[in-house]
Amino acid sequence: MEQQFSLTSEIQDNCLVIATSGYVNNVGGEAIAEEFNRHFENGIKQVVVNLAGSKVVNSIGMSFLIEIIEKLNEVDGKLVFTNLDPTVEKMLTIMGIFKFAGKEATVENGVKSFARQT
Partner 1 sequence: MNREVTLRLALPKIPDIELVAVEGLAHLGRHLGIADEQIGEAKIIVTEAIINAFEHTVGENPVVKVKFVMTKKELVIFVRDYGKGFEPESVEDPNIEDKIGSTRKRGWGLKLMKSLSDGFHIESGNWGTKITITKRLS
- The C-alpha atoms of residue 52 and residue 82 are separated, in whole angstroms, by 7
Return the residues of window 22-61 that contact partner 1 according to CB under 8 A. 23, 25, 27, 55-56, 58-60
Closest residue by Cα to residue 81 from 7, 20, 4:
20
Q: Does residue number 2 form part of the binding site for partner 1 (CB under 8 A)?
A: yes
| Binding residues for partner 1, total number by CB under 8 A | 29
Q: Is 6 in the site for partner 1 (CB under 8 A)?
A: no
| Sole window of 7-15, 39-47, 94-102, 110-118 interacting with partner 1 (rule: CB under 8 A) | 94-102
Complete DSSP assignment for 66-102: HHHHHHHHHTT-EEEEES--HHHHHHHHHHTGGGTSE
Minimum CB distance to partner 1 smaller for 91 or for 112: 91
